[in-house]
Structure 1
């Protein structure tokens, strides 16, 4: 990943960040690598748009949010089982988790994989908020990360496909995010 991030900074107009990230990983590792690559070609981070999909648990109340968090555990377990994401987990002290998840995946034990994704792990790689607070929470989490960072939701399309009225809710989130930045 370091070589790819540097190369993207050197030659690309934009970089699509993987949803399996944390603000700490972005600010400590990935954004500096992209900036290093940009600088190698006389560019700056201003020249590179970072498109950042975010895994979100959103709802009207704690019960709805918790249901989405439980679904997100499976997403984090799946991504976390991939060897390329060991450094993303290790960055926050979750050493060995990738290997455990990978072993369980090979044996087909998804339930045990999900059980390994603790609330602490989940909180690093997902955003949890009510609909009314989501825009502000996203703004706070990603503010100042990079000059051209574009946050996008990982789940809005699924929400909208299930319930077309959700488009209005996501539009409100965008407005709240815009107001908070």
Structure 2
């Protein structure tokens, strides 16, 4: 007998998140997020959907995709943060993700990034992502620093997945990160 595979759905907007809470086994938090946004905006919608289905929100597994800018030294971390900023600029240009920026007071950034993307101004887009915004939307540092930040940031999640930007981490770096996250 083949068992039913669990169904996880990724989503951003409140309507979709609500439906996920109602019918899915798990929810993938989009990587363009902050813990505050997820806790205050996303999880309440997930809970509403679960309640509609007569179940607890805790029955829906929350899996968090997290943007990570990691390196072994300051130079590698800085390069990784620049690569992460480019990805954040791309995500930030997408109208569907504007809620995260709006929630944190960056209401004017999404339209500007969108305008620049339509003009192919990718470098200018990245230059609009300052250090404060990088710190808000991703975690960065050495492997052990990233592990601690992952543990402290994703307290709302049942599972965390790291999306690395910068030099590909070696096995030792991944082991160090996971060890720090689990300690």
Give me the TM-score of the superposition, normalised by structure 1.
0.88
Specify the alignment match of 1:155 in structure 2: 164
Matched position secondary structure for 1:94 = coil
**Aligned equivalents of 1:87, 1:133: Cα separation in 2:** 28
Specify the alignment match of 2:112 in structure 1: 100
Find the partner of 1:111 among 123, 134, 137.
123
Specify the alignment match of 2:171 in structure 1: 167
Q: Deviations over 1:102-160 (max 9, x none)?
A: 000001111111111111111111101211222111111122x25xx21111128x826
Which piece of structure 1 moves more, 42-51 or 26-35?
42-51
* CA-CA distance at 1:167 after TM superposition: 2.6
* Larger helix share, 1 or 2: 1
Q: Deviations over 1:14-71 (max 9, x none)?
A: 0111110111111110111111111111212221111111111111222211110011
Matched position secondary structure for 1:51 = strand
Unaligned residue ranges in structure 1 (runs of 5+): 161-165
Matching of residue 86 in structure 1 with residue 95 in structure 2: no
2:64–2:154 contact (8 Å) kept in structure 1: no
**Aligned equivalents of 1:40, 1:135: Cα separation in 2:** 36
Give me the TM-score of the superposition, normalised by structure 2.
0.87
Unaligned residue ranges in structure 2 (runs of 5+): 1-12
RMSD: 1.5
Matched position secondary structure for 1:76 = helix
> After TM superposition, what 4+ stretches of structure 1 lie above 6 angstroms from structure 2?
none
